[in-house]
Amino acid sequence: MQYRILPGTDLKVSEVCLGTMTWGEQNTEADAHAQLEHALDAGVTFIDTAEMYPVPPNATTQGRTETILGNWLAGRSRDGLVIASKVAGPGRRDWIRDGRTDLTPANIAEACELSLRRLKIDCIDLFQIHWPQRNVPMFGSTEFDPAKERPGPSIEGQVEGMAALIRAGKIRHYGLSNETAWGVCEFHRVARALGVPGPVTVQNSYSLVSRSTDGDLAEALHRQTMSLLAYSPLAGGMLSGKYLGGAQPPGARFTRFDQLGARFRRPYVAEAIDAYAALAKRRGLSLVALALGYVKSRWFTGATIVGATSVAQLRENIAGAQVVLDAETLAEIAKIQLLYPNPAG
């Protein structure tokens, strides 16, 4: 396992981050703890969760994932572990904190306190805004629509809220998620004007079929000295190969929850994945190794977030996320990308 310091922080993280969103829905607490032990044994020190989890979210299970992680953390030394969580943005899940989801300083502070209690820790290493307060295209949408503008707390208020949590010792750093290049730059502009810390990471979907980061967001990451935490590097499991040929494996996420991951079910996604699967076979690789090795190869990747519903899956994903692809394989990937540049958005 390789480790790195996330740019702009003192956080030393493993290049593989353990995702947790299945815990409490597809996985029991015992399953989750087995995954944690395996990940730790494999050298994973970076764990990502959210107040909204598990997925698909609902009022009954919300917060369960953090509680499961907190029960594992209780009584355990946190030496070397980096814990990340997220505050939910406005709308979408109005049952979170009784609907207090506008990103005001007070609501951000409340969310942090509740996450700390569930996690049974006194400080979150990286606290992320799960999705923006403002109107933006996200979760696979690619077109900005000014007609969807809405009032709400300013970026200045969000920066002040995070700065207050840092001063109070409740969090060490903060990040963004499902964010745009404009948002990254505006958060930093406001933070500089206020003389307080800016965000240090962006957690966005990134994979062979979701490559929106490659353009202006990549430039923003470079110029603001930030890194990407890549979620859905297997496109919700589509790049694992288990759905090839239209298969619907019993118990799989997209079999059980047919409303999830619409962006990964678009027509050209399947064609692109077929092409990548054929390439992986020619190169003597698994599709998982090809997909995760590609995400690792990108200069802006701070960590690849992998999750699983079994230890066997997790073992394959952790190994795949450490694969170094050779130049010829990367060149072949680039040829396929000319045909399918960003099919999932």
Q: What's residue 326's pLDDT? A: 98
Distance CA 186, CA 206 (A): 22
pLDDT band, residue 257 (cuts 50/70/90): low
Burial 175-202 (b: 16+ CB within 10 A, else e): bbbbbbbebbbbbbebbeeeeebbbbbb
Residue 121: CB atoms within 10 A of its CB come to 18
Contacts (Cβ under 8 Å, ≥6 apart) of 298: 206, 213, 228, 230
Q: What's residue 3's pLDDT? A: 98
Model pLDDT for residues 276-312, shown as the tens digit of each residue: 999 999 999 999 999 999 999 999 999 999 999 999 9
Domain region containing 292: 3-339
Q: What is the mean pLDDT of residues 86-99?
A: 90
Which residues have a catalytic role annotated? 53
What's the mean per-residue pLDDT of the chain?
Answer: 94
Q: What's residue 246's pLDDT? A: 66
Domain-embedded: residue 288: yes
Q: What is the mean pLDDT of residues 142-150?
A: 84
Contacts (Cβ under 8 Å, ≥6 apart) of 15: 1, 2, 3, 4, 296, 301, 303, 304, 321, 322
Does 252 have pLDDT greater than 70? no
Domain-embedded: residue 344: no
Q: How far is CA 259 from CA 57, 254, 262, 265, 309, in A?
A: 12, 8, 7, 10, 19
At 102, the amino acid letter reads D
The enclosing domain of 129 has a CATH number of: 3.20.20.100
Q: What's residue 203's pLDDT? A: 98
Q: What's residue 283's pLDDT? A: 98
Domain-embedded: residue 323: yes
Q: What is the mean pLDDT of residues 12-17?
A: 98
Domain-embedded: residue 191: yes
At 239, the amino acid letter reads L
pTM of the model: 0.94
Domain-embedded: residue 157: yes
Q: What's residue 33's pLDDT? A: 98
Domain tally, the chain: 1
Task: Find tokens 């597809």 and name the residue.
Answer: 26
Quote the percentage of the chain above a pLDDT of 70.
94
Instruction: Give the single-character DSSP code of 240.
Output: G
Q: What's residue 245's pLDDT? A: 67
Q: What's residue 247's pLDDT? A: 59
Model pLDDT for residues 186-211, shown as the tens digit of each residue: 999 999 999 999 999 999 999 999 99
> Is residue 133 a contact partner of residue 183, using CB atoms and an 8 Å limit?
no
Domain-embedded: residue 345: no
Our measurement of the distance from residue 11's CA atom to the centroid of its chain's CA atoms, rounded to an integer in Å, reads 17
Does 265 have pLDDT greater than 80? no
Q: What's residue 251's pLDDT? A: 59
Min mean pLDDT across 256-270, 276-290, 302-316, 326-340 is at 256-270
Beta strands in 255-339 (DSSP E): 301-306
Domain-embedded: residue 110: yes
Q: Which residues share a beta bridge with 176?
A: 129, 202
Domain-embedded: residue 151: yes
Q: What is the mean pLDDT of residues 10-34?
A: 97
Of 155, 209, 216, 218, which is closest to residue 187 (Cα–Cα)?
155
At 124, the amino acid letter reads I
Distance CA 308, CA 301 (A): 20
